[in-house]
């Protein structure tokens, strides 16, 4: 038997994930730095796989 999740449950889970992600960087500057480091990691991976 499978259990079906409601939109409320999915929305609450998404909100919790977003809050956890945002708590990692307390400021907009921190968020920018996180995005920049993520971009650099993707760029390095692309360079290694050329």
Q: Which two tokens stand for residue 31?
A: 């968020």
Q: What is the pTM of this model?
A: 0.44
Is the Cβ–Cβ distance between 25 and 34 less than 8 Å? yes
pLDDT tens-place string over residues 10-27: 788 888 888 777 666 566
In whole angstroms, give the CA distance from residue 7 to residue 39: 32
Tell whether the model's pLDDT for residue 4 goes beyond 60.
yes
Is the Cβ–Cβ distance between 22 and 32 less than 8 Å? no
């Amino acid at each position: 038997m499978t259990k079906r999740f409601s939109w409320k449950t999915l929305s609450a889970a998404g909100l919790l994930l977003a809050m956890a992600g945002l708590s990692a960087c307390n400021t907009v500057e921190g968020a920018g730095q996180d995005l920049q480091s993520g971009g650099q990691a993707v760029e390095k991976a692309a360079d290694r796989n050329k």
